[in-house]
Structure formats: structure tokens, C-alpha cells
Amino acid sequence: MSTVEANVEVAGNPVPEGNDLEITEARNARVGDITVRRMLPLRLRRSVGAWCFIDHYGPMDVDGVAGMNVPPHPHIGLQTVTWLLSGNVLHRDSLGSEQLIRPGQLNLMTSGRGIAHAEESPAEHDPTLHGVQLWVALPDASRHVDPAFEHHGELPATGLGGFVITVLVGELAGAASPATTFSPIVGAQLSATGRPASCPLPLRPDYEHVLFVVTGQASANGVQLAPGHLLYSPAGRHELALAAPSGSTLILLGGEPLREQLLMWWNFVARTPAEIGAAAAAWRAGDFGSVGGYRGDPLPAPPLDVARLKRPR
Ligand code: MN
């Protein structure tokens, strides 16, 4: 995967003429010791539905090393969605939650008005780590709700044209996730397990979508996709012609276009610079509560110049 400067969008594979699909290429970012493929936000696209952040990391060898170690840090205004393809990660938060997550399981943390959490590879961890970290912006009416954490050990799955479709949030192809949502969204994993898969994937035309490959490769309406490519499909589409060789896995995210201007800084999703400033001050003052059980210091907030925080266009 090539490295792309922050917030610069680069055309990936060519999109056939007359097609309203778009491709952008991930840029590399660092999260602790881990390099991730950051696919959202983009300079020209801050969110897709309410999805406002997409990191894909691994697969990486973490045998005999610390692996993931993200010290306690705060969030406001969002839900974090943790999904693994391989390995295991331990979540702890300021509500007292402590939860190990494995592939096929969902950790969903609703920050609401404020929560702090830490994520790390457990002391005895699997040798490979591979996953995605996603954020969902809470709509204005819900962004001050109480913080909450939920773990779903099993999720509904269905089959379509050789794909095993596991629904993380929302509903797809007749399967519905029990995960709590605050706006109309969908998130699903599509795996071609054991044989090549192909299908017309039904989409809600009132949703916009993104699709990306986490393992193997795929094509969507004739556009070739590899890890690091993000395919965007605007609202109005009823289906995508998907095909993937055996062993490939894709992630589909979508939702009703969010008609709200988000202001994102560090781990905060807000609407105004004043809210960001208040959240940063609250974190420095210790007002988010402590994350029990984590050995080490919390993450300091980066320097913030509120006057330079621009309102989104
Ligand atoms: Mn976090």
C-alpha cells in the first residue's frame, strides 16, 4: 500500500466511465505502535451515513511483542465499533467494563456526552492481530446520552451467492443486528469462505455506502478492490454486483446521509470549537473518570488552539 499525505485524496483504480462510484486510497496513520490504513474521514467527505472514521490495521505479527496498547483516552459524541478479523483485544472503560473481544464479536461503546477507555492486546495474546476500528457520529439529538458499553458475542449471519454476511449493526439481506444505533445505518462483513462468491448485493437506495476489502480482493460493478481502497457509492443505488475469490473478506458500511456538520478533533466528535475546548479541558481535569485495571498513564490531549479550529464547511 502506498503512503498518502494526510487529507489528500488520490485516485486508486480507475472507475469505469459513466459510473457514479468513487475510489479513494487509504493513508497511513499511527495509533500507538501500530500503523493503520485510515480511510475516513476524507478532506472532501467527512462521513458516510453517520460513519465518520474508518481504520483498518493488520494482519500483523504480534507474537512476543506488546501488540496493541492504546492508553486511556476520552471520547464524546460518537460510538466506537471494534471488529476483529483475527487476534484478541481487551477493552476497559470508565464505566467499569472489562471485555475481551475475538473475531466475530462486536464491541460497541456509546460515548454519549463522555467516556474514557483503553484497548490493548492482553498479556497472553494471539500471534496475529487484524481488525477495524470504526466511529459512528451520534446525531445531534442523541449526542449527549449516557455513556454505555455493549458486547455482542454472536451476531446474525445469512448467506448470499457464496458470501457469508454477518451484520454488525443495522440490517442487511434479511439479517438484523441487535446492536444499539441512533441513526439509520448498516455495517456488515461479507466473507467468501471456501469458494468464490458473487451476488447482486441489495442496498437501501436511501443510504450512501462504502465498501472495502480487508482480506483478499473483490470487484464491485466491475471496479477492482484491494486492501486500502475505499469504494464510495452514493445514495440512489439498489444493488452492487459483487464478486470475490475464496478467502476474501469485505466490509460494507452505510447509512442515510448525515445532514449535520461535524467538527472532529482528536477523539472528539462535536459541532463547535467551544465544545472541543470544553472536552479537552475536562479530560485534562480528570472529569471523564478513570479506567480501572490499566497499567500506565492515560494519553494526554494534544495541544489545542481553539481559535484555529475551523467550523466545517
Ligand atoms: Mn478510542
307 belongs to a structural domain: no
Q: CA 10 to CA 280: how far, in whole Å?
A: 32
11 belongs to a structural domain: no
**Which residue type does 226 have?**
A
120-155: pLDDT as tens digits:
999 999 999 999 999 999 999 999 999 999 999 999
Return the pLDDT at 9: 42
82 belongs to a structural domain: yes
CA of 117 to the centre of ligand 1 (A): 6
Q: Which residue has the cell 468464490?
A: 196
Residues of the chain short of pLDDT 50, as ranges, are 1-11, 313
Alpha helices (runs of H) in the chain, residue ranges in sequence order = 273-284
264 belongs to a structural domain: no
Q: CA 6 to CA 231: how far, in whole Å?
A: 18
CA of 215 to the centre of ligand 1 (A): 24
CA of 30 to the centre of ligand 1 (A): 13
273 belongs to a structural domain: no
245 belongs to a structural domain: yes
196 belongs to a structural domain: yes
Domain extent for 123: 22-255
Residues 6+ apart with CB under 8 A from 28: 1, 3, 4, 35, 36, 37, 38
Could you give the C-alpha distances from 217 to 246, 292, 310, 312, in angstroms and in order?
9, 41, 38, 35
Q: CA 184 to CA 245: how far, in whole Å?
A: 31
Does the model's pTM come out above 0.85?
yes
CA of 45 to the centre of ligand 1 (A): 21
Question: What is the number of domains present in the chain?
Answer: 1
CA of 106 to the centre of ligand 1 (A): 15
The H-or-E segment that residue 106 falls in is strand 106-110
Q: How many CB atoms lie within 10 A of CB 296?
A: 10
262 belongs to a structural domain: no
Return the pLDDT at 305: 86
Return the pLDDT at 16: 64
Q: What CATH number is attached to the domain comprising 60?
A: 2.60.120.10
Return the pLDDT at 33: 83
